């Protein structure tokens, strides 16, 4: 059975239940299916290699962070044909995240609002999960590890949390993402401000150099940013990326803007909005970054990709790679191949 048909059968059931419950059913089911070899019939995208951040990606379509926060389902996810997989966000210590419900579907808008709040089992469990995956053990592909700060760490000490996580995940990562753009951790986005960002990036860069010497391997660092920035703020971020020689930028995280969904059920829920309503907002950020960065710092484009044409539009805006999350919920895993096919030869 094709994954398209399977997903069209499963979707009405998954959409009838609470979104977080659906999430908690789907990932173990995928793990079982992969373990039993049932996903081996999923046709892989044809190779379409891209060299970005010094690594060769088999195709430019990746999984965005947040779907597998603990890195517990890497092998199942790896069967879906992604050119790279990003897991996390992980924090130094385990934390429960916000009270439930904390994830809402807005189907008319092909959107999700979430305020998960970095629910995760902490970096030590995360590293064990990564180590236990066949994907890591057999070096099957590119694995991004996305790190953040605990909710109860004061924002003035945020750098400590990023450094703890960077030290621990570094040896297992193909690249490390610094997530300073979740709207669901109080004050986190303050780190995008000019002086905070300078302090954060300079310490991360120093740590990266030290770790590269220690492990005899340079692991690129990418910064993940929000779509809710004006032109001047985006330019400031871009200049900081150049100044500190950061290896990549992921644009964007979810938006706090509700313009595109007003009057829809759940539109007023607190959290980050993803899916179709963030598509253009993230493209604007990508275009602005591209103007500032040229070819010096590659951009990974994410936000509202629901079709192959959307993936192409992200590339046209200036992205070198793309990532998917909400589109997978609405379109199913066949979206990976659709996007990879649309970008083939481009």
**Residues classed as catalytic:** 182
Q: How far is the CB of 111 from ligand FMN (least distance, A)?
A: 8
Question: Based on the number of CB atoms within 10 Å of its own CB, is 11 exposed (0-12), middle (13-18) or buried (19 or more)?
Answer: middle
In the complex with ligand FMN, the residue whose CB is nearer, 71 or 275, is 275
Please enumerate in sequence order all residues whose Cβ is within 8 A of that of 230, keeping only pairs 6 or more positions apart, or say none. none
Q: What is the DSSP string of 114-154?
A: E-----B--HHHHHHHHHH-HHHHTT-SEEEEEE---TTS-
- CA nearest neighbour of 300 among 167, 146, 166, 130: 146
Q: Tell me if 231 sits within 8 A of 239, measured CB to CB.
A: no
Q: What is the DSSP string of 268-321?
A: TSSSEEEEGGGHHHHHHHHHHHHHHHTTSS-EEEES---SHHHHHHHHHHT-SE
Q: Which of residues 123-162 bind ligand FMN (CB under 6 A)?
A: 146
- Residue 224 binding ligand FMN, by CB under 6 A: yes
Binding mask 22-51 for ligand FMN (x = CB under 6 A): ------------------------------
- CA nearest neighbour of 189 among 155, 163, 161: 155
Q: Tell me if 146 sits within 8 A of 89, measured CB to CB.
A: yes
In the complex with ligand FMN, the residue whose CB is nearer, 38 or 101, is 101
Number of neighbouring beta carbons within 10 Å of residue 216: 6
In the complex with ligand FMN, the residue whose CB is nearer, 146 or 208, is 146
Binding mask 178-207 for ligand FMN (x = CB under 6 A): -x--x-------------------------
Size of the site for ligand FMN (CB under 6 A): 27
Which pair of structure tokens corresponds to residue 264? Answer: 């829809």
Provide the sign of the torsion angle of the four alpha carbons 271, 151, 200, 315, taken in this order: negative
In the complex with ligand FMN, the residue whose CB is nearer, 114 or 133, is 114
Residue from 153, 208, 253, 283 in contact with ligand FMN (CB under 6 A): 253
- Is 68 annotated in a binding site? The answer is yes
Task: Give the residue closest to ligand FMN by C-beta.
Answer: 66
User: Which region among 133-141, 191-199, 262-270, 322-330 touches ligand FMN (by CB under 6 A)?
Assistant: 322-330
In the complex with ligand FMN, the residue whose CB is nearer, 38 or 233, is 233
- Is 114 annotated in a binding site? The answer is yes
User: Which region among 26-34, 188-196, 239-247, 299-307 touches ligand FMN (by CB under 6 A)?
Assistant: 299-307
- Residue 103 binding ligand FMN, by CB under 6 A: yes
User: Angle at Cα 160 formed by Cα 184 and Cα 324, nearest 5°?
Assistant: 40
Give the chain's radius of gyration (CA, Å). Answer: 18
- Residue 333 binding ligand FMN, by CB under 6 A: no
Q: How far is the CB of 303 from ligand FMN (least distance, A)?
A: 4
Residue from 274, 283, 320, 331 in contact with ligand FMN (CB under 6 A): 274
Which pair of structure tokens corresponds to residue 180? Answer: 């300073």
Which pair of structure tokens corresponds to residue 98? Answer: 């916000």
Point out which residues bind ligand FMN (CB under 6 A): 64-66, 69, 89, 103, 112, 114, 116, 118, 146, 179, 182, 224, 253-254, 274-275, 278, 302-305, 324-327
């Amino acid at each position: 059975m094709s994954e398209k048909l399977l997903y069209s059968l499963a979707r009405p059931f998954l959409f009838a239940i609470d979104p977080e419950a659906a999430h908690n059913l789907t990932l173990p089911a995928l793990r079982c299916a992969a373990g039993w070899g049932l996903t081996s019939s999923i046709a892989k995208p044809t190779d379409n290699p891209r060299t970005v951040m010094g690594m060769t990606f088999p195709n430019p379509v990746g999984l965005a962070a947040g779907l597998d926060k603990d890195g517990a389902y890497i092998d199942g996810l790896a069967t879906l044909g992604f050119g790279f997989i990003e897991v996390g966000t992980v924090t130094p210590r385990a934390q429960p995240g916000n009270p439930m419900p904390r994830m809402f579907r807005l189907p008319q808008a092909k959107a999700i609002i979430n305020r998960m709040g970095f629910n995760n089992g902490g970096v030590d469990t995360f590293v064990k999960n990564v180590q236990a995956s066949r994907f890591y053990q057999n070096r099957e592909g590119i694995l991004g590890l996305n790190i953040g700060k605990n909710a109860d760490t004061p924002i003035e000490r945020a750098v400590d949390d990023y450094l703890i996580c960077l030290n621990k995940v570094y040896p297992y990562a193909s690249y490390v993402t610094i997530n300073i753009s979740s709207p669901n951790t109080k004050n986190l986005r303050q780190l995008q401000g000019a002086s905070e960002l300078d302090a954060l990036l300079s310490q991360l860069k120093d740590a990266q150099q030290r770790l590269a010497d220690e492990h005899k391997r340079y692991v690129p660092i990418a910064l993940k940013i929000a779509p809710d920035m004006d032109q001047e703020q985006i330019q400031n971020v871009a200049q900081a990326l150049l100044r500190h020689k950061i290896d990549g930028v992921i644009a964007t995280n979810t938006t706090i803007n509700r313009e595109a969904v007003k009057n829809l059920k759940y539109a007023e829920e607190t959290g980050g909005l993803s899916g179709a309503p963030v598509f253009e907002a993230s493209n604007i950020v990508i275009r602005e970054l591209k103007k500032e960065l040229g070819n010096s710092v590659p951009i990974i484009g994410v936000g509202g990709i629901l079709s192959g044409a959307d993936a192409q539009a992200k590339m046209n805006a200036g992205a070198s790679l793309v990532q998917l999350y909400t589109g997978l919920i609405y379109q199913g895993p066949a979206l990976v191949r659709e996007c990879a096919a649309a970008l083939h030869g481009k």
